[in-house]
C-alpha cells in the first residue's frame, strides 16, 4: 500500500464535474499544507461498463486496494437502467464497499448556519443540531440473496435482509467509540417489533454496551426515528443503524436538517490501516450533468474527511471546511441551494471560490 496514494473515481452524471472541483480543492490543500498526496484517476460505474463491460474492472479495484483513500463521485444513468444488477453502474460502489470491507459509513448532519433558511424546519429546531449517522454498508438487504421468478404471466421478486452477529458488532463498536468522543448518547435504530434481523441487532448491541457503560444507549424503531428526526433533531447524537435504514434516514437528515443532500459528505471506514472510501451521498442527477450547475460541496467536504480520517491532517481538513463555510457565509450558492438574495454560481466557480479561500486560510495559518 502506497502511503500517500489516493484514487479518484469520477463515475457518471454530475460525478466527473463535482469530483473535478473536489480534486482542485484537494490539490490546493496538498500544496499549501505540503501533504505529499498523489491523486490518480481510475474508471468505474457506467463509464467502465461502456469501456470494459463491467462496473468495477479488476484494475480499478486493485488500484483502490493499494491506495490509502478512494474519493468517488456518483454512479448511474438512464442508459444502464435496464441492465441486470451485476451490470449496473451502482454495483461499482456496492462491490467496492464489499471488497474493501469498509463496513462503517459515517454521515454528519450538522446544519451550516448560512443554509438554515434553506432547510424546511424552523431555525430554533435546527440550531445546535449535530448528528452522526453510523450506517452498516457491507451487509443487510443490499447484499442478501435476491431473485426474480416468473410463473406464467406473474412475477415474484425477493431481496433478503441478513446479518451475522460479527457484522453488527464491528459497526456497533465504531458507533460506541464515536459516541465516547461526543455526547455519549447512542440511538440504535431498527424495526425490532417486526424483523428478526433487528432483534439480533438489539442483542448484539446490548451485549456490547457492557464494554461502554459510559455511553447512554437507547433503541428506537425506524418509523419513530424518521418522525423524531424532524420533530426533535436535537435529541440525537450518534445514530447506529443497518444498511437500508441508514440510507433512508441519512437522506432525510441531510435534506431536512441541512437543507440538501448535496452538501453532506460521507466517510466509509473499515479496520484501521485499510483503504477507506469517501464521497457524496447524492446520486448522479443525470438531467443536469455537464451543465456546470451541480453542487460540488458534498464531494469537496468528503475530501476533507479523507484528510482527517486517513491522513490525520486535521489542520488541512478543518481549513477546507472553513473555506466552504466562508464561501457560503459570503452568499455564494449552487443553483440547488439558491434562496432569494444569494449569489448563484456554477460548479466550477464554486470550486474556484473554495480553493481561493482555502489558499488564504492556509496563508494565515502559516503566519501564526
**What residue ranges bind Mn ion (CB under 5 A)?**
247
- Residue 93 touches ligand IPM, criterion: CB under 6 A: yes
Q: Which of residues 209-228 bind ligand IPM (CB under 6 A)?
A: none
| Beta-bridge mates of residue 277 | 70, 268
Which residue in 21, 28, 167, 247 binds ligand IPM (CB under 6 A)?
247
The cell numbers describing 192, all together, are: 425490532
Instruction: Give the contact letters, 259-298, x = binds to ligand IPM (CB under 6 A), - = no.
Output: ----------------------x-----------------
Among 90, 293, 300, 301, binds ligand IPM (CB under 6 A): 90
User: Is 233 or 284 the residue whose CB approaches ligand IPM more closely?
Assistant: 284
Question: What does the alpha-carbon distance between residue 281 and residue 267 come to, in Å, rounded to a whole number?
Answer: 10
Tell me which residues are annotated as active site.
Answer: 142, 191, 223, 247, 251
41 vs 251, which CB is nearer to Mn ion?
A: 251
* From Mn ion, ligand IPM, none, interface partner of 252 (C-beta below 5 to 8 A by class): none
Size of site (CB under 6 A) for ligand IPM: 5
With CB under 6 A as the contact rule, which of the stretches 17-25, 88-96, 301-309, 340-348 interacts with ligand IPM?
A: 88-96
- Indicate whether 258 belongs to the interface with ligand IPM (CB under 6 A): no
Select 84 or 273, whichever has its Cβ closest to ligand IPM.
84
Contact 176, 141 (CB under 8 A): no
14 part of the interface to ligand IPM, by CB under 6 A: no
Q: Name the minimum Å distance from CB 248 to ligand IPM.
A: 9
What three-state secondary structure class fits 246?
Answer: helix
Burial of 52 (0-12, 13-18, 19+ CB in 10 A): middle
CA–CA separation, 9 vs 208, rounded Å?
36
Closest-CA residue to 243 (of 102, 142, 107)? 142
324 touches, from ligand IPM, Mn ion, none (C-beta below 5 to 8 Å by class): none
Look at residue 220 and give the partner it binds from Mn ion, ligand IPM, none, a contact being a CB closer than 5 to 8 Å depending on partner kind. none
Residue 93 binds which one of Mn ion, ligand IPM, none, with CB within 5 to 8 A depending on kind? ligand IPM
Output the nine-digit C-alpha cell for 325: 463555510
Q: What is the largest CA-CA distance in the chain?
A: 75
Q: Please check whether residue 18 is in contact with residue 295, taking contact to mean a CB–CB distance below 8 angstroms.
A: yes
246 and 139 Cβ atoms separated by less than 8 Å = no
Q: Which of 215, 286, 280 is nearest to 250 (CA)?
A: 280
SS3 for 181-249 is CCCCEEEEEECCCCCHHHHHHHHHHHHHHCCCCCCEEEEEEHHHHHHHHHHCHHHCCEEEECHHHHHHH
Burial class (CB in 10 A: 0-12, 13-18, 19+), 359: middle
Nearer to Mn ion, 136 or 247 (CB): 247
Q: How many residues appear in the chain?
A: 368
- With CB under 6 A as the contact rule, which of the stretches 89-97, 179-187, 195-203, 206-214 interacts with ligand IPM? 89-97
The answer to whether 25 and 306 are in contact (CB under 8 A) is no
Report, in Å, the least distance between residue 263 CB and ligand IPM.
14
Instruction: Supply the minimum distance, in Å, between the C-beta of residue 246 and ligand IPM.
Output: 8
Binding region for ligand IPM (CB under 6 A): 90, 93-94, 247, 281
Amino acid at each position: 500500500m502506497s502511503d500517500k496514494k489516493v484514487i479518484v473515481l469520477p463515475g457518471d452524471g454530475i460525478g466527473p464535474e463535482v469530483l473535478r472541483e473536489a480534486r482542485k480543492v484537494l490539490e490546493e490543500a496538498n500544496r499549501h499544507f505540503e501533504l505529499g498526496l498523489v491523486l490518480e484517476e481510475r474508471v468505474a460505474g457506467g463509464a467502465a461498463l461502456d469501456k470494459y463491460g463491467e462496473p468495477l474492472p479488476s484494475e480499478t479495484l486493485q488500484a483502490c486496494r493499494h491506495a490509502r483513500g478512494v474519493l468517488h463521485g456518483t454512479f448511474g444513468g438512464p442508459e444502464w437502467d435496464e441492465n441486470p444488477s451485476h451490470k449496473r453502474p451502482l454495483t461499482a460502489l456496492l462491490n467496492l464497499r464489499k471488497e474493501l470491507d469498509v463496513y462503517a459509513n459515517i454521515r454528519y448532519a450538522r446544519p451550516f448556519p448560512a443554509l438554515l433558511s434553506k432547510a424546511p424546519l424552523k431555525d430554533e429546531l435546527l440550531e445546535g443540531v449535530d448528528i452522526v449517522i453510523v450506517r452498516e454498508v457491507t451487509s443487510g438487504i443490499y447484499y442478501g440473496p435476491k431473485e426474480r421468478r416468473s410463473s406464467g404471466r406473474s412475477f415474484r421478486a425477493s431481496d433478503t435482509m441478513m446479518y451475522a452477529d460479527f457484522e453488527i458488532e464491528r459497526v456497533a463498536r465504531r458507533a460506541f467509540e464515536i459516541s465516547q468522543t461526543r455526547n455519549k448518547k447512542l440511538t440504535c435504530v431498527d424495526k425490532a417489533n417486526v424483523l428478526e434481523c433487528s432483534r439480533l441487532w438489539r442483542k448484539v448491541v446490548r451485549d456490547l454496551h457492557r464494554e461502554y457503560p459510559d455511553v447512554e444507549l437507547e433503541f428506537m424503531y425506524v418509523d419513530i426515528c424518521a418522525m423524531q428526526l424532524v420533530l426533535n433533531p436535537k435529541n440525537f447524537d450518534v445514530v447506529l443503524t443497518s444498511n437500508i435504514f441508514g440510507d433512508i434516514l441519512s437522506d432525510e437528515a441531510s435534506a431536512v436538517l441541512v437543507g440538501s443532500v448535496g452538501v453532506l459528505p460521507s466517510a466509509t471506514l473499515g479496520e484501521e490501516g485499510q483503504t477507506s472510501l469517501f464521497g457524496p451521498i447524492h446520486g448522479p442527477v443525470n438531467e443536469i450533468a455537464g451543465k456546470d450547475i451541480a453542487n460540488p460541496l458534498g464531494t469537496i467536504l468528503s475530501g476533507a474527511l479523507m484528510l482527517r480520517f486517513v491522513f490525520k491532517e486535521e489542520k488541512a481538513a478543518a481549513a477546507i471546511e472553513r473555506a466552504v463555510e466562508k464561501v457560503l457565509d459570503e452568499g455564494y450558492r449552487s443553483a440547488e441551494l439558491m434562496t432569494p438574495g444569494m449569489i448563484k454560481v456554477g460548479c466550477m466557480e464554486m470550486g474556484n471560490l473554495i480553493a481561493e479561500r482555502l489558499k488564504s486560510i492556509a496563508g494565515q495559518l502559516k503566519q501564526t
